[in-house]
């Protein structure tokens, strides 16, 4: 009788290296998987999850796996489920920290005397509210202060004890007013999802005990990115056991600026009794030369547990160091080199340009635009942050909660209803005097509102109120969208810009897709899922990906260019603590590359209104790159052979012209061009040669 073929799980276990297998088969007790970049950590922890369920017999609903992005959570969920033979009635919970907080609060926020149908604000809406509450302090400063307080577990009352300066006292008052506003409108912000979760777990030991008994096995991905609040939530979830498995890399802790504490992973071995530590050091992503410079750089850090990545792929192309005269020359090099890769058969989606500062993207964009190379700026204005889409989202929020004045005032005159700022202010003041929301005031005091607004605007608003009440009765999210679209698509899409009309149509399409994929969903589910989305979730499509190094964390590309490797730009600061995190940022940038890594620095950049003369980054020396063969921009793409006297060229403004003379200017050329009798001197990167 033939032996049964191995299951998907058994095959997955056999495919793991010894260290990965040891981690995947670990059952009870605390476990730290110290996983270097490209070492197969996702494969390891998803196999462990499947092993616990299919081999050990742990009920799937007794497991909880947490990560930081929706994209990572979805990938892990798909991988884990593909390994399970068992048909699951209740699949394992695998989600982001904030999604877990959202789910938890749906069941337990009533213990704080808050209703369960809350809506989560996005960052833009949060700042708009803060701006309306305080016009003497920048919203960004208020936002940062409130976020810091919540992540330090401090309520407005508790924060007052630390407010000593006049500015701190003003910020504390804004925090207090802001919290009162959110409570009154039943809104939460992003930080509340964890702050309120911990608040409940800390004060209600019975709920903490209940949650710990429910989730007997807890796993955390990217543990080095946790902050103190997340660490405390994890401890609360493990009060009845020590079955916490964390996966992370202390060398990739790069979010200290937003509260992540590398000490969480450094001290994890002391957090529980008999913590097992397993290192994953075999790298399956990058060729050896890439890992060599990454290891060289990160070895200079003192605050690390220590590991050394080894490439499974072996030797590959040497890391390239490219010097350019300035940002224009750098942009020209990037465009020419990407064109070379494309000619060799590379795909645009395999290419990424990374930078330490977002401001450096301007020159890159101009260069790619001139070369007509498709690209995406990841982390720039996102689809749901566009004005017309924000307005449509406000309609959805009002359907959930008619008393949401913030959303109401956002669309009070969108589409146009003849309500200017003066009439709007009068309506707001009347609502405040009556102790009601604006919509409740419109309904309860028709006479006063008619006097304030005028007949036509009042009638338009009451029509809106009637529609909102009608939509509230539609039941399913899909029905709501259908009804909304019929009413708003013709009135709301009358914009001058075609792109906006397209965006609105795209919005309704996305809503319908969500409703189809989530048939039992409610409007607040859709809104809250949007609030939890992250910039790295957007990396799709056939285009060069341009992004900050922070955004690139967790991603990989065949061809990676890291630009801006100059002192003052990268690293930005040279004090020891900052330098440790900057090195980790460099390590992350280098290890995004699979096949070819190109490091770029410029002799000068135009920055903050003036030209800065720069030195190569200190990190180039630490990584062992300085002293290696230096490739100058002109060594890789010879501009000299491109242009010659009498050659026809094209300029985006002046059209077709003929070159009359050529003069070297740094790494580029100054061309004297005759555009049909009009002579112009043009830098060579601004024109395109025409085929002769």
Active-site residue numbers? 41-42, 221-222, 252, 592
Burial 422-458 (b: 16+ CB within 10 A, else e): ebbebbbebbeeeebbbbbbbeebeebbeebbeeebb
Q: Is 402 exposed, middle or buried (0-12, 13-18, 19+ CB in 10 A)?
A: buried
Both tokens assigned to 546: 């341009």
Both tokens assigned to 399: 């359907």
Q: Supply the DSSP symbol for 90.
A: S
Q: What are phi and psi of 595, to 5 degrees?
A: -110, -50
- DSSP H/E element including 627: none
Both tokens assigned to 381: 């204005």
In angstroms, the CA 369 to CA 600 distance is 19
Determine contact, residues 39/281, Cβ cutoff 8 Å: yes
CA torsion 374-378-379-382 (nearest 10°) is 50
Q: Cα–Cα–Cα angle for 373, 379, 383, nearest 5°?
A: 90
Determine contact, residues 291/311, Cβ cutoff 8 Å: yes
Determine contact, residues 128/406, Cβ cutoff 8 Å: yes
Spatial CA neighbour of 285 closest among 252, 262, 257: 252
Please name the residues in contact with 508: beta carbons below 8 A apart, sequence gap of 6 or more: 481, 485, 489
Alpha carbon distances (Å) from 416 to 377, 399, 410, 426, 597: 33, 20, 12, 18, 52
In angstroms, the CA 561 to CA 589 distance is 9
Both tokens assigned to 365: 């964009």
Residue-by-residue DSSP string for 18-78: HHHHHHHT--SS-EEEEE-TTS-HHHHHHHHHHIIIIII---GGGEEEEES-HHHHHHHHH
- Report the half-sphere exposure of 609 (CA within 13 A, side-chain side): 0
Helix or strand or coil: residue 678?
strand
Q: Supply the DSSP symbol for 238.
A: T
Sign of the CA dihedral 447, 453, 457, 462?
negative
In angstroms, the CA 244 to CA 237 distance is 9
Helix or strand or coil: residue 664?
strand
- DSSP H/E element including 596: strand 593-602
- DSSP H/E element including 681: strand 678-683
Q: What are phi and psi of 665, to 5 degrees?
A: -145, 95
């Amino acid at each position: 009788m033939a032996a049964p073929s191995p299951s998907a799980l058994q095959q997955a276990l056999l495919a793991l290296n010894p260290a990965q297998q040891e981690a995947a088969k670990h059952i009870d007790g605390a476990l730290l998987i110290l996983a270097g970049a490209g070492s197969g950590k996702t494969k390891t922890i998803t196999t462990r999850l499947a092993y616990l369920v299919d081999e050990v017999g742990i009920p799937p609903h007794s497991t909880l796996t947490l990560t930081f992005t929706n994209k990572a959570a979805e990938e892990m969920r798909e991988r884990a489920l593909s390994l399970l033979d068992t048909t699951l009635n209740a699949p394992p919970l695998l989600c982001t920290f904030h999604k877990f907080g959202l789910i938890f609060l749906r069941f337990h926020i009533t213990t704080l005397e808050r209703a369960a149908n809350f809506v989560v604000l996005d960052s833009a809406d949060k700042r708009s509210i803060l701006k309306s509450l305080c016009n003497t302090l920048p919203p960004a400063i208020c936002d940062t202060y409130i976020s810091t307080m919540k992540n330090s577990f401090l309520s407005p009352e508790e924060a007052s004890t630390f407010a000593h300066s006049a500015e701190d006292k003003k910020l504390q008052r804004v925090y207090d007013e802001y919290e009162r506003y959110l409570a009154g409108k039943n809104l939460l912000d992003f930080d509340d999802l964890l702050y309120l979760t911990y608040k409940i777990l800390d004060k209600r030991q019975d709920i903490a005990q209940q949650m710990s008994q429910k989730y007997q096995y807890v796993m955390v991905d990217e543990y080095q990115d946790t902050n103190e609040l997340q660490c405390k939530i994890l401890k609360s979830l493990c009060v009845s056991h020590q079955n916490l498995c964390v996966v992370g890399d202390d060398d990739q802790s790069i979010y200290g600026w937003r509260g992540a504490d590398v000490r969480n992973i450094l001290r994890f071995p002391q957090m529980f009794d008999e913590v097992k530590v397993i290192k994953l050091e075999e790298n399956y992503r990058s060729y050896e030369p890439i890992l060599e410079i990454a290891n060289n750089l990160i070895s200079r850090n003192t605050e690390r547990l220590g590991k050394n990545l080894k490439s499974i792929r072996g030797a590959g192309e040497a890391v390239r160091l490219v010097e350019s005269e300035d940002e224009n020359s750098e942009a020209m090099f990037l465009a020419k080199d990407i064109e070379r890769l494309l000619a060799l058969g590379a795909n645009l989606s395999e290419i990424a340009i990374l930078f330490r500062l977002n401001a450096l993207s301007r020159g890159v964009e101009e260069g790619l635009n001139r070369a007509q190379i498709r690209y995406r700026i990841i982390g720039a204005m996102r689809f749901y942050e566009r004005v017309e889409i924000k307005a449509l989202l406000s309609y959805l929020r009002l359907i959930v909660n008619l008393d949401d004045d913030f959303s109401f005032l956002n669309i009070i005159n969108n589409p146009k209803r003849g309500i200017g700022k003066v009439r709007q202010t009068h309506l707001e003041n009347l609502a405040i005097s009556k102790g009601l929301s604006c919509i409740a005031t419109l309904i309860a005091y028709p006479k006063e509102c008619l006097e304030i607004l005028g007949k036509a605007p009042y009638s338009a608003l009451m029509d809106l109120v009637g529609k909102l009440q009608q939509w509230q009765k539609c039941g399913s999210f899909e029905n709501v969208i259908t009804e909304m679209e019929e009413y708003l698509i013709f009135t709301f899409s009358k914009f001058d810009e075609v792109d906006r009309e397209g965006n609105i149509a795209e919005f309704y399409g996305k809503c319908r897709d969500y409703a189809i994929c989530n048939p039992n969903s409610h409007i607040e589910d859709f809104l809250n899922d949007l609030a939890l989305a992250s910039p790295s979730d957007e990396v799709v499509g056939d285009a060069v990906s341009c992004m900050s190094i922070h955004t690139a964390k967790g991603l990989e590309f065949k061809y990676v260019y890291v630009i801006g490797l100059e002192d003052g730009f990268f690293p930005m600061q040279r004090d020891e603590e900052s330098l440790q995190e900057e090195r980790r940022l460099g390590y992350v940038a280098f290890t995004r590359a699979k096949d070819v890594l190109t490091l770029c620095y410029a002799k000068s950049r135009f920055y903050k209104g003036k030209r800065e003369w720069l030195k190569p980054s200190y990190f180039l020396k630490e990584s062992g790159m300085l002293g290696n063969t230096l490739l100058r921009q002109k060594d890789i793409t010879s501009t000299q052979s491109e242009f010659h006297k009498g050659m026809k060229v094209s300029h985006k403004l002046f059209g077709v012209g003929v070159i009359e003379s050529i003069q070297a200017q740094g790494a580029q050329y100054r061309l004297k061009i005759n555009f049909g009798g009009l002579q112009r001197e043009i830098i060579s990167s601004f024109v395109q040669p025409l085929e002769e």
